[in-house]
Chains A and B, each alone.
Chain A
Amino acid sequence: MRLAGFYLFAALVALLPVLFPTNYFVIVVGASAGLHVILAVGLNLLMGYAGQISLGHAAFFGMGAYASAILTTRFGWPSLLALAAGLLVAGVIAWLLARPILRLRGHYLAMATLGFGIIIHVILVQATQWTGGPDGLAGIPPLNLLGWSVEGDFQWYGVIMAAMLLAVWLSLNLVDSQFGRALRAVHGSEFAAQMMGIDIVRAKTQVFVVSALFAAFAGGLFAHQQAFVSPDSFNLIVSVELVTMVVLGGMASTFGAACGAIALTLLHQGLVVFEDYEMLVHGILLMAVMIFLPQGLFVGLSQGARRLWATVRQEF
């Protein structure tokens, strides 16, 4: 029963393309939402559960994407191996960075992660001989899964949704493990967590690496799906959008983060026609949710519903 929500979600994801096999919104926007869910669920482990803000998460997304792009186009690596290499690069960098950066708190941590994100973005723009510079890298071959070459929107929907469900399943299980409980203890009080024998440096390092791996995984898939990468997909605005997804849905809830990711993706699609208003709406949304519903839309609403249900049961 613990994973009932997950099975429901999986059923919905599987059912949608059967009902609407040619619907652009389901197949194309759905795939994009799926990538965002992987990113948001990973960032939520760090922000929601461990309470560590990251304003530079697009950097890990970019590392995964560029590792896949560079290794497949310039060195002819098979796509799965390139994807794995991207995970390795992002994981190692996150591991090296975790110790000094996660010693910082609050505003200092925000600044440090933000600075890290900007540095990686500048490198993507400037290291032209490797990354193609501001123009990006084109001609990334399709993802090849042991002989099956993923092509077309419909197949990509399937692959990304499978990856997304894997990410959600992993997150749900991680949160319910000893690791997850340690994270929540660190979030509550680092001092108390330490008193209970939790190695807080280790717990923070692990969650930073895990959340970087989620982002790099999404990055690798993104590069193959788009067949093109450019630095614009991994800048500060993207990092802020990822944070928005997590807080919009509700921190410290896997489905909250997933809902936030889906909601923001749909919002972007809906505002495509009114492109100039997108920023305005994005800004108002961030402020309003944080002021009036700081626990997030999904978490806030589901708590409200649960309370309503409890009163209803008491009355009758």
Chain B
Amino acid sequence: MLEQFFQFLVTGVTVGSLYALVGLGFALIYNASDVVNFAQGEFVMLGAMTAIALLGVGLPLPVAAIAATLAAILVGLLLERFAIEPAQGASVVTTIIITIGAAIFLRGVALLLWGKDFHSLPSFSGDAPIHLGGATVLPQSLWVLGVTMLLVGLVRAFLDRTLLGKALLACSFNRAAAQLVGINVRVMLRLAYGLSAGLGAIAGILIAPITFSSYEAGVMLGLKGFSAAIIGGIGNPMGAVAGGLLLGVLEALGAGLISSGYKDAIAFLFVLMVLFFKPTGLFGHQLVERV
């Protein structure tokens, strides 16, 4: 029983890491622009599918992964420039619909490029499972965990320690004031979109060897990332990371102990409960200071 529980925990933390990365992207964009980017999941899909396609034409995996990440960053910047900037000052409902439109558009492009088939990447370092106290861990899961921890650490250091990161945070507190002290808000906006697109793409490349990828793969991941951001308190980057991990574990436990078919329903039921009873998120805003 305990072994089984541990196994669910491993699965949950692996999936949760992806939700954390996507949620972190949500939080960064929300901070910089007050926009919830519903196309976040599509960055995940684009990262995975581009990497798979580049590997297919003979590029080595590391090169394909980096190129795919750069491609997704470019798409993120284009999205900001051509869909978000022209609609500045629009209502919340309008921006939600614009980003949903962007998500559908990107999915449509992926459908034309790669068709409806499912694709997969080879694991980064083999498929031999590692036995850890009764539970089995795939080497790819360790990659997911390791890279996620590294990225979260880097983003945190960037926000806390660098002038650029502090400028980005300043935009989230008060955009007019940030502009007044000489921060180029427009550049910060692009930075946020580029950064979250990159984070999403890396998440997609990391998970591609474990789950199959297709043009639709980003939808659910994007929504779970948004859920992670809400659980953690929207606009709280480290809260989103914690929210993602929590959501992943909860989902894995729900799938294992209750029913795997209902795992998405369990996840969203939890999000609804958080929204109904603690809409500011489980971790409030203090977590940023404490962790």
Query: A residues engaging B (CB < 8 A)?
Result: 47, 51, 53, 55, 100-101, 104-108, 110-112, 114-116, 118-119, 122-123, 125-126, 236, 240, 243-244, 247, 276-287, 290-291, 294
Q: A279–B97 contact, CB under 8 A?
A: no
Residues of B91-137 contacting chain A, CB below 8 A: 91-94, 96-98, 100-109, 111-112
Q: B279–A287 contact, CB under 8 A?
A: no
- Among residues of B, the one whose C-beta sits closest to the C-beta of A56 is B268
| Most chain B beta-carbon contacts within 10 A, residue among A104, A123, A286 | A286
Residues of B contacting A243 in the complex (Cβ-Cβ under 8 angstroms): 97, 100
Q: B108–A278 contact, CB under 8 A?
A: yes
- Among residues of A, the one whose C-beta sits closest to the C-beta of B271 is A115
Cβ of B66 within 8 Å of any chain A Cβ, yes or no, is no
| Most chain B beta-carbon contacts within 10 A, residue among A106, A108, A111, A244 | A111
7 A-B interface contacts by CB (under 8 A): A104-B279, A126-B259, A276-B112, A279-B108, A282-B108, A286-B98, A291-B86
User: If the complex has contacts A110-B36, A240-B104, A290-B101, are A119 and B265 also in contact, measured as CB distance less than 8 A?
Assistant: yes
Q: In the complex the two chains form, what is the Cα distance from A123 to B266 in whole Å? A: 11
Residues of A contacting B234 in the complex (Cβ-Cβ under 8 angstroms): 107-108
Residues of B contacting A278 in the complex (Cβ-Cβ under 8 angstroms): 108
8 Å CB contact of A108 from B101, B102, B230, B269 = B230
- Give 14 new A-B contacts, CB below 8 A, not counting A112-B272, A279-B108, A283-B101: A53-B96, A107-B36, A115-B227, A115-B275, A118-B264, A118-B268, A119-B269, A122-B262, A126-B261, A126-B262, A240-B100, A279-B105, A291-B98, A294-B90
Q: In the complex the two chains form, what is the Cα distance from A219 to B97 in whole Å? A: 24
Q: In the complex the two chains form, what is the Cα distance from A283 to B268 in whole Å? A: 25
Q: In the complex the two chains form, what is the Cα distance from A100 to B277 in whole Å? A: 9
Q: In the complex the two chains form, what is the Cα distance from A294 to B96 in whole Å? A: 12
8 Å CB contact of A107 from B96, B261, B276 = B96
User: If the complex has contacts A104-B275, A111-B226, are A284 and B265 also in contact, measured as CB distance less than 8 A?
Assistant: no
Q: In the complex the two chains form, what is the Cα distance from A3 to B109 in whole Å? A: 44
Q: How far is the CB of B143 from chain A (nearest CB, A)?
A: 29
Residues of B232-271 contacting chain A, CB below 8 A: 234, 259, 261-262, 264-265, 268-269, 271
Residues of A contacting B61 in the complex (Cβ-Cβ under 8 angstroms): none
8 Å CB contact of A277 from B97, B112, B268 = B112
Residues of A contacting B106 in the complex (Cβ-Cβ under 8 angstroms): 283
Residues of A contacting B272 in the complex (Cβ-Cβ under 8 angstroms): 112, 115-116, 119
8 Å CB contact of B265 from A101, A105, A118, A244 = A118
User: If the complex has contacts A112-B272, A119-B265, A284-B105, are A107 and B279 also in contact, measured as CB distance less than 8 A?
Assistant: no
Q: In the complex the two chains form, what is the Cα distance from A125 to B105 in whole Å? A: 27
Cβ of B176 within 8 Å of any chain A Cβ, yes or no, is no
8 Å CB contact of B103 from A47, A55, A111, A283 = A283
Q: B97–A108 contact, CB under 8 A?
A: no
Q: In the complex the two chains form, what is the Cα distance from A244 to B103 in whole Å? A: 13
Q: In the complex the two chains form, what is the Cα distance from A192 to B112 in whole Å? A: 49
User: If the complex has contacts A118-B268, A122-B264, A290-B94, are A111 and B101 also in contact, measured as CB distance less than 8 A?
Assistant: no
- Among residues of A, the one whose C-beta sits closest to the C-beta of B109 is A280
Q: B105–A287 contact, CB under 8 A?
A: yes
Residues of A contacting B98 in the complex (Cβ-Cβ under 8 angstroms): 286-287, 290-291
User: If the complex has contacts A104-B275, A115-B271, are A277 and B108 also in contact, measured as CB distance less than 8 A?
Assistant: yes
Q: In the complex the two chains form, what is the Cα distance from A108 to B276 in whole Å? A: 10
8 Å CB contact of A285 from B94, B101, B230, B279 = B101
Residues of B contacting A286 in the complex (Cβ-Cβ under 8 angstroms): 97-98, 100-101, 104-105
Residues of A contacting B265 in the complex (Cβ-Cβ under 8 angstroms): 118-119, 122-123, 126
Q: How far is the CB of B227 from chain A (nearest CB, A)?
A: 7
Q: B97–A111 contact, CB under 8 A?
A: no
- Among residues of A, the one whose C-beta sits closest to the C-beta of B115 is A276
- Among residues of A, the one whose C-beta sits closest to the C-beta of B26 is A107
Residues of A contacting B262 in the complex (Cβ-Cβ under 8 angstroms): 122, 126
Q: In the complex the two chains form, what is the Cα distance from A271 to B119 in whole Å? A: 27
- Among residues of A, the one whose C-beta sits closest to the C-beta of B95 is A290
- Among residues of A, the one whose C-beta sits closest to the C-beta of B86 is A291
Residues of A contacting B287 in the complex (Cβ-Cβ under 8 angstroms): none
- Among residues of B, the one whose C-beta sits closest to the C-beta of A51 is B93
8 Å CB contact of A125 from B86, B97, B261 = B261
Residues of A contacting B59 in the complex (Cβ-Cβ under 8 angstroms): none
